[in-house]
Amino acid sequence: MIRANPIFGVGLGGYSFQFRGSVPEVYPHDIWLTFWVEVGLLGVIAFAATLAILLWRGARAWRRVQGFERAVLWGALAALVMWIVHGVVDSPYWKNDMSVEFWMLAALIIVCMRVATPAPVPRV
């Protein structure tokens, strides 16, 4: 499947459609392989970039936030790392509840990054 559609993939749900009835598993148990098969190399790159930006910017913001926001950011970053580790043996993103969890963690990280960024001082 990857050889036939390396750039754009076979489409969402394409893996299970291709193997329906012949393979008991409905998806590959690896998040990176699942992304590559379903949405292609462009999807893998976009997802990896999203993860890298969230982790990098979140880690940088963690040094600047204090109090409750620091705890929330630490928890969200740790949960995202565990989500990625879980993705090595499963494909959590393609389950509805897990994809919602991913975007909720991303939102928490972004909100904490906004809190950590000082507002520009208006010039008078």
- Each residue's pLDDT tens digit, 77-115: 999 999 888 888 877 677 777 888 889 999 999 999 888
According to the model, what pLDDT value does residue 11 have?
Answer: 67
Per-residue pLDDT, 76: 95
State residue 121's pLDDT score.
Answer: 67
pTM over 0.75, yes/no: yes
124: Cβ–Cβ under 8 A, 6 or more apart, which residues?
Answer: none
Please choose, from the candidates 89, 92, 93, 95, the residue with its C-alpha nearest in 3D space to the C-alpha of residue 29.
89
**pLDDT at 73 exceeding the cut of 70:** yes
Q: What is the DSSP letter of 25?
A: -
Sequence-distant (6+) residues with CB within 8 A of 43 are 9, 35, 36
Summarize pLDDT for 3-49 with one digit per residue, the tens.
777 677 776 776 666 666 666 566 677 888 888 888 889 989 999 99
Rounded mean pLDDT of 49-65? 92
Q: Which residue in 70, 96, 74, 98 sits closest to 84, CA to CA?
A: 98
Please name which of 68, 62, 58 lies closest in space to residue 106, comparing C-alpha atoms: 58
| Domain locations in the chain as residue ranges | 41-116
Residue 9 near residue 40, CB atoms below 8 Å: yes
